[in-house]
Amino acid sequence: MKPAPFDYYAPESLADAIALLAKFDDEGVEAKILAGGQSLMPMLSLRVARPEVLVDLRKLAELHYIRDEGDTIAIGSMTSKRAAEESALIRERQPLFHDATMNIGHLPIRAHGTVGGSFAHADPAAEYPAAAIALDMQMKAVGPDGARVIGARDFFVTYLTTDLAATEVLTEVRMPVLAPGTGWSFREISRRKGDFALAGAAVLLSLAGGRISDSRVVVFAVNATAVRLPAAEQVLRGQAPGEALFREAGLAGAAEIEEPIADVHASADFRRHLVSVVVARGLAEAQSRARG
Amino acid sequence: MAQLHRVRLTVNGREYEREVEPRMTLVDFLRHELGLTGTHVGCEHGVCGACTIIKNGQAVRACLMLAVQADGAELRTVEGLAGADGLHPVQQAFIEKHGLQCGFCTPGFLMSTVELLEGTTSPGEEQIREAIGGNICRCTGYQSILESVELAAQKMRAGQGS
Ligand SMILES: Cc1cc2nc3c(=O)[nH]c(=O)nc-3n(C[C@H](O)[C@H](O)[C@H](O)COP(=O)(O)OP(=O)(O)OC[C@H]3O[C@@H](n4cnc5c(N)ncnc54)[C@H](O)[C@@H]3O)c2cc1C
């Protein structure tokens, strides 16, 4: 299992990287960006991907940062997931993103895999796209025509497909800090810890006067992209929190999923069942962390 | 054949320089170009952890990286663990607690453990499980590996005290 031959470039700046991507695009040469390689390398070794050229972003120090912008946290796309997991800023001010990070693979995968790579790769079972939809994150991309910002809802298109053009580099992901009093949960069910999830949920919950004033329920690993479950949120609105309500919301959410993924790991029915369980557990955990 | 690229890096404190095809993985580079066959090749797609090495202070998969990506890096492999005065305490602990049988996965477990214990010599069980959770062993059933890591931590604590 060895990658097929390709040419390799490691540009020194973002501008050079984009110029290279544009040049290959013009020439009809298939070029792929290489970030941490933790998804691309297996695809090259299995020869699922056979690009003619790799453009390695490792020298772009300008894309390595975790920045406190007050109400927003900005992460440079080449920041490693391990750096994200070790960031006190993220752990304290956006714990949902921290918990999502801790569910990704294993430590050595997080050490070399980048934050941006997980967004660009857009695996249906990946944690970050669910966090992105739950938090209304924004993705910044730079291409030959300049920079643009893409909201999470438009960014993830389908299996392994995003809104990014072949000539665009994802440079930054941006998230709001958690609003005071909001409860959060990020959990998943997998056969062993570190395995890809069979089903997972990202949940936000706000209380006012002992009732649920607002909620956000997003699940992943069950459809081509992470999906929000408005039916579950509808069940919760204005209600007093409790285990029975959370179970009902989980069932309502599970019922509204169209054609859950069925594969060797879990049938469609089993995945639907897991959604109801993981959503109910997530809501209970979020409630325990909410104030108001 | 694709154009060759120069790779300069250090492994266990020694500098190496070679010209390689970009498609060569780092683990193949270590084994075939440098003759350092202690790092094992298992699944070749990042799942088993047999090829775990330490790159710039962090445990990583050598099969999920191209040699050209490691240009300028400082690497540590299992060959660098034993010193003039004998085995590394982590190696010694794996022997004493039967943390291996066939030994195929062992270099990866050792490097994951070394990174953990160089950061803290008093890890909790959860921390140990997190550090070695990405390594697969088909012989031991893991219990003796957990005990090996705990004993290694003890040995390293004792070493710091002396
Ligand atoms: C054993 C194992 C377990 C794993 N478990 C999980 C898991 O539980 N959850 C999970 O989410 N992931 C998991 N992963 C995948 C891992 O998180 C990858 O690191 C991640 O999906 C891709 O990030 P990367 O930096 O390695 O990107 P690469 O592998 O380098 O790139 C992936 C794709 O994204 C594109 N790309 C990368 N960066 C950019 C950019 N800045 N702009 C535009 N395009 C870009 C590349 O061209 C490529 O198509 C696992 C991987 C392994 C090997």
Q: Report the complex ipTM.
A: 0.96
Domain termination site, one of B80, B105, B123: B80
Q: For residues B107 and B129, state if they share a domain.
A: yes
* Domain annotation covers residue B32: yes
Mean pLDDT of chain A: 97
- Nearest by CB to B60, which of A1, A8, A112? A112
Chain A residues inside the 8 Å CB shell of B129: 193
| C-beta atoms surrounding B141 within 10 Å | 9
**What is the structure's pLDDT at A148?**
98
Give me the helices (H) in chain A, please.
Answer: 14-27, 40-45, 81-85, 88-93, 95-102, 107-112, 115-121, 127-134, 152-155, 230-236, 243-256, 268-289
The confidence band for A4, taking pLDDT boundaries of 50, 70 and 90, is: very high
Backbone torsions φ then ψ of B154, nearest 5 degrees: -60, -45
Nearest CA among A2, A33, A39 for reference residue A20: A33
pLDDT at A195: 87
pLDDT in tens, A105-131: 999 999 999 999 999 999 999 999 999
Average pLDDT (A239-262) is: 97
The rounded distance, in Å, linking the Cα atoms of A59 and B156 is 36
**Cβ atoms A119, A129 nearer than 8 A:** yes
Pairing of strands A53-56, A31-34: parallel
Q: How far apart are CA B45 and CA B41, in angstroms?
A: 10
- Positions of CATH 3.30.465.10 in chain A: 61-176
- Give the CA dihedral A220, A222, A223, A226, nearest 10 degrees: -10
pLDDT at A129: 98
Asked whether residue B151 falls in the same domain as residue B119, the answer is: yes
Whether residues A109 and B134 touch (CB distance < 8 A) is answered with yes
Contact of B117 with B93, CB cutoff 8 Å: no
B133 touches A at CB < 8 Å: yes
Is B131 a domain residue? yes
In this model, does residue B162 exceed pLDDT 70? no
Question: Is residue B151 included in any domain, yes or no?
Answer: yes
> Which CATH number fits the domain that encloses residue B147?
1.10.150.120
At B61, give phi and psi (nearest 5°). -90, 120
The reply to whether B102 falls in a domain is yes
- The residue from B51, B80, B109 where one domain ends is B80
Mean pLDDT for A220-243 is: 98
Q: Tell me whether residue B6 is exposed, middle or buried, using C-beta atoms within 10 angstroms of its C-beta: 0 to 12, 13 to 18, 19 or more.
A: exposed
Is residue B45, in this structure, part of any structural domain at all?
A: yes
**Is 0.95 surpassed by the pTM of this model?**
yes
Rounded mean pLDDT, B102-130: 97
C-alpha distance from residue B125 to each of B24, B59, B160 (Å): 37, 19, 21
B13 and B63 inside one domain:
yes
Strands, sheet with B5-11, edge to edge from the N-terminal-most edge strand: B14-20, B5-11, B74-76, B52-55, B58-61
Q: Of the candidates A196, A193, A176, A192, which has an alpha carbon nearest to the alpha carbon of residue A184?
A: A176
Q: Where in chain A is the domain with CATH 3.30.390.50?
A: 182-290
**Same domain flag for B18 and B66:** yes
pLDDT tops 90 at residue A88: yes
- Nearest-angstrom CA–CA distance, B29 and B35: 8
Q: Judge if B42 and B69 occupy the same domain.
A: yes
Question: How far off is chain B from A58, nearest CA to CA, in Å?
Answer: 8
Whether B162 is in a domain gets the answer no
pLDDT at B161 over 80: no
Q: Does domain A182-290 have CATH number 3.30.390.50?
A: yes
Topology of the domain comprising A61-176:
3.30.465
Rounded Cα distance between A250 and A246, Å, is: 6
Same domain? B107 vs B140: yes
Give yes or no for residue A173 having a pLDDT over 90: yes
Select from 3.30.43.10, 1.10.645.10, 3.40.50.720, 2.60.40.10 the CATH code of A7-56.
3.30.43.10
Instruction: Round to whole Å and give the CA distance between B125 and B150.
Output: 8
Question: Per residue in B62-88, pLDDT tens?
Answer: 999 999 999 999 999 999 999 999 999
Pair B107, B52 in one domain: no
Same domain (yes/no): B72, B96: no
The answer to whether B23 contacts chain A (CB < 8 Å) is yes
Span between the terminal Cα atoms of chain B, in Å: 55
Residues B58 and B121 occupy one common structural domain: no
- Look at residue B124 and tell me whether its pLDDT is greater than 70: yes
> Predicted confidence band at A292 (pLDDT cuts at 50, 70, 90)?
confident
Tell me: pLDDT of A158 over 90. Answer: yes
Q: Is the Cβ–Cβ distance between B48 and B42 less than 8 Å? A: yes
Print the domain residue range for B107: 89-157
Residue A54 scores a pLDDT above 70: yes
Examine the domain organization and report whether B137 and B103 are in the same domain: yes
pLDDT computed for residue B1 by the predictor: 63
Q: In this predicted model, what pLDDT tens digit does every residue of A6-48 receive, in sequence order?
A: 999 999 999 999 999 999 999 999 999 999 999 999 999 999 9
Q: Are residues B53 and B31 in the same domain?
A: yes
How far apart are the CA of A102 and the nearest CA of chain B, in angstroms? 10
- Name the segment(s) of chain A with CATH classification 3.30.43.10: 7-56
Indicate if ligand 1 lies below 6 Å from the C-beta of A60. no
Closest ligand 1 atom, CA of A195? 8
To test the pocket of ligand 1, the residue of A121, A160, A173 to mutate (highest count of ligand atoms within 8 Å of its CB) is A121
Percent of all residues in chain A with a pLDDT value above 90, rounded to a whole number: 98
Domain boundary among B61, B80, B99: B80
- Tell me the average pLDDT across B33-39: 98
The minimum CA-CA distance between A140 and chain B, rounded to whole Å, is: 25
The pLDDT of residue A192: 87
